[in-house]
């Protein structure tokens, strides 16, 4: 999780110069847990599920975070 938060912080740093409001998107099943985790390290970041976005809203993906399984 620490690596995920470092990657998220780095991604937000890169996007800060673009003057966009950052939003983290994830599946509805994990949204609550992702929001609680992110709030501990980077408060005030919106976390939405894909189901919460209206179909007429244009989304631009600027980065993607992945969790790799440890061997």
CA neighbor of 8 nearest in space, from 31, 49, 41, 36: 41
For residue 63, what pLDDT is reported?
87
Condensed to tens digits (0 to 9), the pLDDT of residues 19-56 reads 877 889 999 999 999 999 999 988 889 999 999 999 99
pTM of the model: 0.77
Q: Please state the domain extents for the chain.
A: 2-52
Rounded distance between C-alpha atoms, residue 15 and residue 67, angstroms: 20
């Amino acid at each position: 999780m620490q690596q995920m938060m470092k990657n998220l912080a780095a991604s937000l740093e890169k996007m800060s110069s673009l003057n966009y409001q950052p939003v983290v998107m994830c599946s509805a099943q994990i949204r609550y847990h992702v929001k609680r985790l992110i709030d501990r390290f980077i408060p005030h970041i919106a976390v939405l599920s894909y189901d919460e976005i209206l179909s007429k809203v244009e989304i631009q993906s600027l980065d993607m975070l992945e969790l790799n399984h440890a061997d």
